[in-house]
Amino acid sequence: MQRLSVEKIILKIENEETFEAVSKDYSFTIKIDEYVHYACGAVHDGHQFRKELWNNCMHTEYERWFEEDPETKEMVKSHPIVIAGCDSRFEYDLNRAPQTAIYEDAWGKQLWKNPLPKEMHVKSLEKHANFYKVVHTLISKLEEKFGVCIVYDMHSYNWKRWTREVPTWNLGTSNIDNKRFGNEVASWSTTLGKMKLPNNIKSTSLINDTFQGNGYFLKYITQNFNNTLVLATEIAKVYCDELSQIMYPEVVVAVEKYLRTALKTHADDFYKAHKL
- pLDDT confidence of residue 108: 83
pLDDT tens-place string over residues 90-129: 999 999 999 999 998 888 889 999 999 999 999 999 999 9
Distance CA 37, CA 50 (A): 35
pLDDT tens-place string over residues 220-242: 999 999 999 999 999 999 999 99
Give the three-state DSSP class for 89.
coil
pLDDT tens-place string over residues 141-154: 999 999 999 999 99
The predicted model scores a pTM of 0.96
**Which of the 8 DSSP states describes residue 116?**
P
The torsion angles phi and psi of 62, rounded to 5 degrees, stand at -65, -45
Distance CA 247, CA 89 (A): 20
The domains found in the chain, sorted by start residue, are 2-274 (3.40.630.40)
The torsion angles phi and psi of 230, rounded to 5 degrees, stand at -110, 125
